[in-house]
Amino acid sequence: MKKLYFIPWIILINCLTGCSSSASLSDYNTSEVLSVKHHTYKTVNFPTSDGLKVYADYYSSHNKRGPLIILYHQAGFSRGEFRHIAPRLVELGFNVLAVDLRSGDILNQVTNLTKKEALKQGMSTSFQDVIPDLEASFDYAKNEIKSRKIIYWGSSYSASLGFYMAAKYPKDYKALIAYSPGEYFKIENKNIAEYAKDVKIPVFTSSARNEEAQWKSIYNSVSARKEFYLPSKTKGHHGTMALSAFHDDAEENWQAIIPFLKTLR
């Protein structure tokens, strides 16, 4: 397991500005298949290398062999972050796997089942512990869903980890989408920007306007094809929630990323 070194005050700021929870703590029925805007998702699970069961919602498009986006939530959240986002990605022609990472909590009345399982087993749920979750979800997408083109999509801390994963596994991912990444921690005493130097796949980055300084050094380190977007009419929002229908400016943010997504189909 890789050791991460944290910058606590940055993590705290992002959790305060980007993380929320629901008043309801009702558990999710994992055997249920539900309709979401004429699409369906099914909750699946798969094991990690350190013995944890990871849960995820799988949204299938009309083309099951088409490209697949793995969605990872931000700190304090769950796969519920994507209930209003995944259906549109399906409409755009992508299969989607929205993953509960062990470092998170409830959102949109969707319990983070991986976190719940980790606590039940007495396992640590800090940021450095989610790397096996990332690896296991890729393996599931490749070996069980049989996806040939897999795209990493991260939000906040999981966006930062995307640069690490893309550098460590250069042949695994076809693109990296990073919403509100930052130098929130170090891995093996290396900044995320150092891993970004080894990223060879297309990268799309976006964030709230006041967060640009947190990720600019990471973005500038990428030598591969890349693009970024900052909202022009609003202050924007932290993480992938910028695309959620909860925000009035969501469509502006969608129109910014759709051209990039079309190059990946």
- The residue among 219 and 37 whose pLDDT is bigger is 219
Radius of gyration of the chain (CA): 17
Q: In the structure, what pLDDT confidence band is assigned to residue 240 with cuts at 50, 70 and 90? A: very high
Q: 4-262 falls under which CATH superfamily?
A: Alpha/Beta hydrolase fold, catalytic domain (3.40.50.1820)
**Mean pLDDT throughout 127-153?**
97
pLDDT band for 23, please (50, 70, 90 cuts). Answer: very low
pLDDT tens profile 142-177 = 999 999 999 999 999 999 999 999 999 999 999 999
Judge whether 54 and 48 are in contact, CB under 8 Å: yes
Written as one letter, the residue type at 87 is P
Closest residue by Cα to residue 60 from 103, 104, 96, 23: 96
Percent of the chain with pLDDT over 90: 81
Q: How confident is the model at residue 203 (pLDDT cuts 50, 70, 90)?
A: very high
